[in-house]
Amino acid sequence: MNFVERYGPWAVVAGASEGTGRAFARQIAAEGVPCILIARRQGPLTALADEIRHENGIECVTAAVDLASPRAFARIVQAVGGRDIGLFVSNAGADPNGARFLDRDVDVWIDLVQRNTVTMLRCCHYFAASMRDRGRGGLLLVNSGACYGGSRFMAAYSASKAFTLCFAEALWDELHEGGVDVLTLVLHMTDTPVLRALLAEKGVAVPENIARPDTVAALGLSRLQHGPVQNWGLADDEIGYAPMSAAARRQRTLAIGAASSHVFGKE
């Protein structure tokens, strides 16, 4: 199958207004799949939809949704309407705080967990059901190297990213044999407005080797069929900064899935 056959007829990109989300939307549209663009600010979404329409003649739908809101999932479903979704990209999930856990009000962290995990989980459950039924589709969950361990300044953030890592691996094991691709794309520093704002606030220079959004999006889409994990800057069998390589994690996921089938039984 080509890209449209595998991931069409529509894609949803959550966190599409800037950075990697914007790059994902443009590249998906360039492949011929129209997008439902989701983010908090309507202005950048409208501008992106106009740009995509001008570049590719592809129609896009926009919906201004605060993904940290408990009502976010319902509003996304409303925006999707009766459209058939073949690809869901969860790109929202940065941490603009750069603070210790006790130095912020707890509601800040509740919002982060709602955006990074709860809304993402609800969307995956909703969109993956129809993908499984028709035997094709994809879930691409953008992640961070923080998923591999907690540290000061990142308690809630790293925990949410560890959830995404294990969640993606489990979904991949559950769905890939039925034709649904699942990938979590684990990033290091990527050149986004959120990161630049945080670095400026802390008085830190932007690193020279920072990843570019277009390159990140291209890697994620090219590796979507090779889940469950892609570590930025590393080959499939290379450990690097991760506790184990993506290939080793794939085999570990398969082994755990096989072992658990003896306990829970096969459907």
For 100, phi then psi, to 5°, come to -70, 155
pLDDT at 267 over 70: no
Distance, in Å, from the CA atom of 155 to the CA atom of 161, rounded to the nearest integer, reads 10
Q: pTM here?
A: 0.94
Which residue is associated with the tokens 């991949």? 172
> Which letter does DSSP use for residue 117 in this model?
I
Look up the CATH number of domain 3-261.
3.40.50.720
The answer, yes or no, to whether residue 211 has pLDDT greater than 90, is: no
d(CA 195, CA 18) in angstroms, rounded, equals: 12
Residue 256 pLDDT > 70? yes
Give the residue-averaged pLDDT of 119-138: 98
Tell me the H-state helices in the chain: 3-7, 19-30, 42-56, 72-80, 106-113, 119-134, 155-175, 193-202, 213-223, 246-264
Q: Report whether 97 contacts 143 (CB < 8 A).
A: no
pLDDT, tens digit, for every residue of 172-208? Answer: 999 999 999 999 999 987 877 777 777 788 788 878 7
Q: What is the pLDDT of residue 266?
A: 59
Percent share of the chain, pLDDT over 90: 84
